[in-house]
Structure 1
Amino acid sequence: MASVAFRPDVDIPGQARPAGGFGIDQNGEYRENLNQRLICPDCNEDPPNLVEEFSSGDMVCASCGMVLGDRIIDTRSEWRTFANDDQGNDDPSRVGDSINPLLNGSQLETNIAFGEGMRSRELHRAQNRSQNDKATKGLLSAYREISNLCEAIGIPKAVQDSAKHIFKLTEDNKLFKGKPQEAVIAGCIFVACRQAKVPRTFREVYALTKVSKKEIGRTFKQLEKFLQSNREANTTGSFLMVENYESTGTTSATELCARYCNNLSFKNPHLMEKISKVLAEKSSSVKDLAGRSPLSVAAACIYMASHLMGDPRTSRDIAGVAGVSDGTIKTAYRFLYQARENLVEKDWLTSKGAGRMDRLPVN
């Protein structure tokens, strides 16, 4: 960067003097010094004691009251209240609300508040009848149902918004006309979970919504086909990115291990999660486990890892978390036990790993 030699400041009578000025670079040209501060020419205080009066739009010296600038832009949030203006109450309500992309219409209409007088209540009810159409009421009802179901099983807020966004796309395109709303909601939640890498099984969604697994599967296939053929349908860009929608496969046992380990209260859940995931990945090489449910494989891997590392859990405890019978877990575990030499890594059996092969039960 070229060096700049600054000229001394020149006072102009009756005007504010900026601290800094102009400089001359190596080519002999004048360059403005952007590192400037406004100083009152009467007080000459450094640092200056200036106040921005946003109500009048002036920059004023707080020491002597001299106006040093006008038309100051107010960058603060705009607050205004129309409630009880005549009574002088301080109720800073935000001017206008942000547009909700999950609802139809501009949403910039005026709303009549529910007041105390009979006349105000009648106006409020009349406006609700005229503005809240059946489509908006149906969307709001579906959104409430999606939020309640997702919160019941701990699904994050971002996934809830994705499920609502998918539901609105299906409503706008009349994709499931005549199909029960419960089945559509279940399919939207399932697809949103898959895309957000927060997997939930058909069995979990069935237990949540009471919609049959067969119906959830049909709705899921239709939704995947619709979202893949309408990648440009997403115009909000804030929820599920439909233009980047990718088809997902079956939920693997590796994805289920983390959630199951967190619910089993291990002494070291991170270590148990890591070992059970490795076992689940290696279990694909066990031919006898081919075709078995990912739930039973994940549960068997956790059962094996817990005994291997000296923090055992019974098959019944794991079955209560995974939603499978303890007999199914033990059947899958027998195949893992037969291939234990290939599945268990040597690092787990060292003094640092603290794992021992003789802890593994035969059944």
Structure 2
Amino acid sequence: MPTCPTHPNAHLIEDPRAGDVICPECGLVVGDRLVDVGTEWRSFSNENSGNDPSRVGAPENPLLSNGDLSTHIAVGYGASDSDQSLANAQRKTMNNADRQMNAAIGVIRDMSDRIHLPRNIQDIAAKIFKDILDTKALKGKNNEAQAAACLYIACRKEGVPRTFKEICAVSRVSKKEIGRCFKMIIRVMETSLEQITSSDFMSRFCGNLGLPMPIQVCATRIAKMAVEMDLVAGRSPISIAAAAIYMAAQASSEKRTAKEIGDIAGAAEVTVKQTYKLLLPKASELFPPDFKFVTPVDRLPLNDP
């Protein structure tokens, strides 16, 4: 970082128009030719090609080898032969890793938008993809499956896990292929993820079902106690969460069917019922002491009404 030789403690000012760094005390230019890595807006109103004369350049992207500051030649309707030739030449010379990275970023962004994931999770997923791309360990594997697996890992890392079924639903690859890439990435990157618990899904599942907070608190307690009492050995956290929600809802005025809950949780109706039946014998011990029952424990249904 440059400093003023006369005023070394002065807080320097950047002049983005001139690209200079100036000392506010004496006006000395202590640095020049700064590069603005932000978005560039330009207008080419005198050009005839294209409907929109405004162009915007992308900001610097550290995940690409050239920082994504290269020129991209787009060929529109009515383009000349020379324009087409330039675009073809660019595609041939473009770095293959950058092509994969660009495609993966687009896939991650598209999947994230469809399941409403924030930008920070998209960025983490893209960084994971970049790391695994650099190792070349998954060379030849489906690019979209790798991107989907990276998004699944990013969600787990940020404490907002999504199920494989949810990720699969917004991708064009199979759950099996995503799972295979996930296992390979975990092994290659030598990383560990926090264990998923049923409480990780409670807020989202209950919110999507329109259940109030007391039901969510009750279902969380039921699932936690069921695991501690070893009532649901071998069952997935998603199945446990769905069964706990079903039990809490049946004991309240906010009844929901096993099918409704299964559709939201991504679990089969029969799986929800089977897990619920494992909880039923100890139901009186699973509920919070202050829970306000509408349907008493001894009247909870054995089957979906």
With structure 1 as the length reference, what TM-score do the two structures score? 0.61
Q: Does 1:324 align with 2:267?
A: yes
Partner residue of 1:99? Answer: 60
2:140 corresponds to 1:178: yes
Structure 1 gaps of 5+ residues are 1-53, 56-68, 229-245
Q: Which amino acid counterpart does residue 59 of structure 2 have in structure 1?
A: S
User: 1:360 aligned to 2:287?
Assistant: no
> 1 or 2 for the larger relative contact order (CA 8 Å, sep ≥6)?
2
Residues 258 and 83 (structure 1), Cα distance of their counterparts in 2 relative to 1, 3 Å cut: same
What residue in structure 2 maps to residue 168 of structure 1? 130
How far the C-alpha of 1:355 sits from its partner, in A, is 7.6
- 1:345 partner amino acid: P
CA 1:111/1:261 → structure 2, altered by over 3 Å: closer, same or farther?
closer
Change (3 A) 1:356 1:129: same
Q: Tell me the equivalent position of 1:296.
A: 239
**CA RMSD in angstroms, aligned pairs only:** 3.8
Match of 1:274 among 198, 217, 220: 217
Any idea what SS the aligned residue of 2:151 has?
helix
- What does 1:1-363 align with in structure 2 at a 5 Å threshold? 81=42, 83=44, 98-109=59-70, 118=80, 121=83, 125=87, 128-129=90-91, 132-209=94-171, 210-213=173-176, 215-228=177-190, 247-266=192-211, 268=212, 270-349=213-292, 356-357=296-297, 360-363=300-303
Identity fraction in percent? 32
Separation of aligned partners in 2, 1:258 and 1:100: 34
Deviation at 1:71, TM superposition (A): 5.7
Cα distance in 1 between the residues matched to 2:63 and 2:89: 21
How many residues align structurally? 266
Deviation at 1:171, TM superposition (A): 1.4
> Which structure: larger Rg?
1
- Matched residue, 2:11: none
Deviation per residue, 1:214-245 (Å, 9 max, x gap): x43442233223333xxxxxxxxxxxxxxxxx
The question of whether the paired residues in 1 share the 8 Å contact of 2:40 and 2:58 is answered with: no
Contact 1:114/1:120 (CA < 8 Å) preserved in 2?
Answer: no
CA distance in 2 between counterparts of 1:205 and 1:326 reads: 20
Which consecutive residues of structure 2, in runs of 5 or more, have no partner in the other structure? 1-16, 19-24, 30-37, 48-52
SS at match of 1:324: coil
Q: Shift in Å at residue 99 of structure 1?
A: 1.3
Matched position secondary structure for 1:339: helix
| Equivalent AA in structure 2 for residue 287 of structure 1 | D
Q: For residues 334 and 359 of structure 1, what CA distance do their matches in structure 2 show?
A: 13
**SS at structure 2 position matched to 1:347:** coil
Supply the distance in 1 between the matched residues of 2:208 and 2:41 (Cα, whole angstroms).
48
